[in-house]
Amino acid sequence: MSALFDMYKVDFRGPARWLGCVDSYDAAAYEIELNALRAPGDYAIVNRQTAERTDLSFGLSVDGRHDHVTPISQQASTAKSEAPAMKKLTDPEAARRARVRQLFTARHPEKTTEDDVFLFFKWLQQHHQEMLPQGKHSDPYSDLRADLDGLYRD
Protein backbone atom coordinates (compact mmCIF):
# COMPACT_ATOMS: atom_id res chain seq x y z
CA MET A 1 0.00 0.00 0.00
CA SER A 2 1.43 3.40 -0.92
CA ALA A 3 1.10 6.56 1.11
CA LEU A 4 -1.67 8.79 -0.17
CA PHE A 5 -1.67 11.81 2.15
CA ASP A 6 1.15 14.33 2.59
CA MET A 7 1.32 16.42 5.75
CA TYR A 8 2.80 19.93 5.91
CA LYS A 9 3.54 22.55 8.57
CA VAL A 10 2.56 25.87 6.99
CA ASP A 11 4.39 29.08 7.86
CA PHE A 12 3.02 32.37 6.56
CA ARG A 13 6.59 33.76 6.51
CA GLY A 14 8.00 31.09 4.22
CA PRO A 15 7.49 27.79 2.44
CA ALA A 16 5.58 24.88 3.92
CA ARG A 17 7.64 22.15 5.63
CA TRP A 18 6.86 18.56 4.62
CA LEU A 19 6.24 16.36 7.69
CA GLY A 20 5.76 13.00 6.00
CA CYS A 21 3.10 10.88 4.36
CA VAL A 22 0.60 8.28 5.53
CA ASP A 23 -2.02 5.92 4.11
CA SER A 24 -5.24 7.56 5.36
CA TYR A 25 -6.74 10.96 6.06
CA ASP A 26 -7.49 9.94 9.65
CA ALA A 27 -3.87 8.94 10.23
CA ALA A 28 -2.68 12.26 8.74
CA ALA A 29 -5.06 14.25 10.92
CA TYR A 30 -3.98 12.36 14.02
CA GLU A 31 -0.28 12.76 13.23
CA ILE A 32 -0.80 16.50 12.77
CA GLU A 33 -2.68 16.68 16.09
CA LEU A 34 0.35 15.10 17.78
CA ASN A 35 2.73 17.52 16.06
CA ALA A 36 0.51 20.45 17.05
CA LEU A 37 0.85 19.51 20.71
CA ARG A 38 4.54 20.41 20.39
CA ALA A 39 4.22 23.15 17.76
CA PRO A 40 0.84 24.90 17.46
CA GLY A 41 0.20 26.60 14.16
CA ASP A 42 -1.13 25.97 10.69
CA TYR A 43 -0.94 22.61 8.95
CA ALA A 44 -2.16 21.10 5.68
CA ILE A 45 -3.10 17.62 4.49
CA VAL A 46 -2.87 16.99 0.73
CA ASN A 47 -4.36 13.96 -1.01
CA ARG A 48 -1.80 12.82 -3.61
CA GLN A 49 -4.41 11.26 -5.89
CA THR A 50 -6.96 14.06 -6.02
CA ALA A 51 -4.79 17.06 -4.96
CA GLU A 52 -7.49 18.00 -2.43
CA ARG A 53 -6.08 20.03 0.44
CA THR A 54 -7.35 20.49 3.98
CA ASP A 55 -5.88 23.37 5.99
CA LEU A 56 -5.95 23.10 9.78
CA SER A 57 -5.13 25.64 12.47
CA PHE A 58 -4.07 24.59 15.98
CA GLY A 59 -3.62 26.99 18.88
CA LEU A 60 -3.71 30.75 18.39
CA SER A 61 -5.42 31.60 15.13
CA VAL A 62 -6.22 34.76 13.21
CA ASP A 63 -9.41 35.35 15.21
CA GLY A 64 -7.37 35.36 18.46
CA ARG A 65 -8.92 32.29 20.09
CA HIS A 66 -6.60 29.83 21.81
CA ASP A 67 -6.44 26.04 21.89
CA HIS A 68 -8.88 25.02 19.25
CA VAL A 69 -8.83 23.24 15.91
CA THR A 70 -10.46 24.92 12.98
CA PRO A 71 -10.55 23.68 9.40
CA ILE A 72 -9.79 27.03 7.73
CA SER A 73 -10.30 26.01 4.13
CA GLN A 74 -11.01 22.96 2.11
CA GLN A 75 -10.83 22.61 -1.65
CA ALA A 76 -13.80 20.39 -2.33
CA SER A 77 -14.62 18.24 -5.30
CA THR A 78 -18.12 16.99 -5.99
CA ALA A 79 -17.19 13.42 -5.03
CA LYS A 80 -15.33 14.31 -1.84
CA SER A 81 -16.79 13.24 1.46
CA GLU A 82 -16.62 15.50 4.48
CA ALA A 83 -13.41 15.44 6.47
CA PRO A 84 -13.81 13.80 9.88
CA ALA A 85 -14.36 16.10 12.80
CA MET A 86 -11.18 17.00 14.65
CA LYS A 87 -11.16 16.84 18.41
CA LYS A 88 -8.85 18.63 20.79
CA LEU A 89 -6.32 16.44 22.52
CA THR A 90 -5.99 17.46 26.15
CA ASP A 91 -3.61 14.81 27.51
CA PRO A 92 -0.37 14.38 25.52
CA GLU A 93 0.35 11.03 27.19
CA ALA A 94 -3.10 9.71 26.26
CA ALA A 95 -2.59 10.94 22.69
CA ARG A 96 0.81 9.24 22.51
CA ARG A 97 -0.60 5.99 23.89
CA ALA A 98 -3.55 6.04 21.45
CA ARG A 99 -1.21 6.68 18.52
CA VAL A 100 1.13 3.86 19.61
CA ARG A 101 -1.82 1.45 19.78
CA GLN A 102 -2.98 2.63 16.34
CA LEU A 103 0.49 2.14 14.85
CA PHE A 104 0.80 -1.31 16.42
CA THR A 105 -2.52 -2.55 15.03
CA ALA A 106 -1.69 -1.06 11.61
CA ARG A 107 1.71 -2.81 11.51
CA HIS A 108 0.42 -6.08 13.02
CA PRO A 109 -3.22 -6.55 11.94
CA GLU A 110 -3.26 -10.32 12.56
CA LYS A 111 -3.20 -12.07 15.94
CA THR A 112 -0.06 -10.84 17.64
CA THR A 113 2.33 -12.22 20.21
CA GLU A 114 5.05 -10.94 22.52
CA ASP A 115 7.49 -11.35 19.61
CA ASP A 116 5.48 -8.83 17.58
CA VAL A 117 5.60 -6.39 20.50
CA PHE A 118 9.39 -6.70 20.61
CA LEU A 119 9.67 -6.15 16.84
CA PHE A 120 7.39 -3.13 17.14
CA PHE A 121 9.53 -1.79 20.00
CA LYS A 122 12.64 -2.05 17.81
CA TRP A 123 10.79 -0.33 14.94
CA LEU A 124 9.73 2.53 17.23
CA GLN A 125 13.32 2.94 18.42
CA GLN A 126 14.46 3.36 14.81
CA HIS A 127 11.59 5.37 13.33
CA HIS A 128 9.53 7.07 16.05
CA GLN A 129 11.58 7.26 19.22
CA GLU A 130 9.35 10.11 20.45
CA MET A 131 6.46 7.62 20.62
CA LEU A 132 8.20 5.43 23.22
CA PRO A 133 7.01 5.89 26.82
CA GLN A 134 9.11 8.54 28.58
CA GLY A 135 9.84 8.89 32.26
CA LYS A 136 7.46 6.25 33.65
CA HIS A 137 9.92 3.57 34.69
CA SER A 138 13.46 2.73 33.73
CA ASP A 139 12.33 0.12 31.17
CA PRO A 140 10.62 1.57 28.06
CA TYR A 141 9.95 -1.95 26.70
CA SER A 142 7.91 -2.90 29.79
CA ASP A 143 6.07 0.42 29.57
CA LEU A 144 5.31 -0.21 25.89
CA ARG A 145 3.96 -3.67 26.76
CA ALA A 146 1.63 -1.99 29.26
CA ASP A 147 0.55 0.56 26.61
CA LEU A 148 -0.33 -2.31 24.25
CA ASP A 149 -2.11 -4.41 26.87
CA GLY A 150 -5.00 -6.34 25.31
CA LEU A 151 -3.65 -6.12 21.76
CA TYR A 152 -1.41 -9.19 21.88
CA ARG A 153 -1.17 -12.68 23.40
CA ASP A 154 1.45 -13.41 26.06
pLDDT tens string 77-120: 333 333 343 344 456 777 788 778 877 877 777 778 999 999 98
Please determine, for residue 76, whether its predicted confidence score (pLDDT) is greater than 50.
Answer: no
- Minimum mean pLDDT range among 48-52, 84-88, 91-95, 145-149: 84-88
Residue 136 pLDDT class (50, 70, 90 cuts)? low
The amino acid that residue 148 corresponds to is: L
Whole-number pLDDT of residue 35: 86
Please determine, for residue 67, whether its predicted confidence score (pLDDT) is greater than 60.
Answer: no
Whole-number pLDDT of residue 137: 60
Average pLDDT score over the chain: 75
User: In the chain, which residue ranges form alpha helices assigned H by DSSP?
Assistant: 25-38, 92-107, 114-127, 140-147
Asked if the structure places residue 85 within a domain, the reply is no
Do 112 and 70 share a structural domain? no
Answer left, alpha or beta for residue 41, where phi above 0 means left and psi between -120 and 50 means alpha: left
Partner residues linked to 69 by β-bridges? 58
- Minimum mean pLDDT range among 8-17, 32-41, 65-74, 135-144: 65-74
Asked which of 74, 109, 130 is the last residue of a domain, the reply is: 74
The DSSP output letter for 49 is T
Q: What does pTM read for this prediction?
A: 0.45
Whole-number pLDDT of residue 118: 93
Whole-number pLDDT of residue 66: 45
Do 54 and 108 share a structural domain? no
Contacts of 58 (CB under 8 A, 6+ apart): 32, 33, 36, 40, 41, 42, 43, 68, 69
Asked if the structure places residue 87 within a domain, the reply is no
Do 67 and 31 share a structural domain? yes
Q: Which of 98, 84, 78, 90 is nearest to 45 (CA)?
A: 84
Query: In Å, what is the CA distance from 13 to each residue of 10, 122, 128?
Result: 9, 38, 28
- Minimum mean pLDDT range among 9-18, 84-93, 123-132: 84-93
- DSSP annotation string for 13-38: TS--EEEEEESSHHHHHHHHHHHHHH
Please determine, for residue 44, whether its predicted confidence score (pLDDT) is greater than 50.
Answer: yes
- Cβ contact 55:10 at 8 Å: yes
Strands across the sheet with 17-22, in order? Answer: 17-22, 5-10, 41-47, 53-58, 69-74
* Residue 112 belongs to domain spanning: 92-147
Number of compact structural domains in the chain: 2
The amino acid that residue 37 corresponds to is: L
Asked if the structure places residue 117 within a domain, the reply is yes
- Minimum mean pLDDT range among 25-39, 40-54, 135-149: 135-149
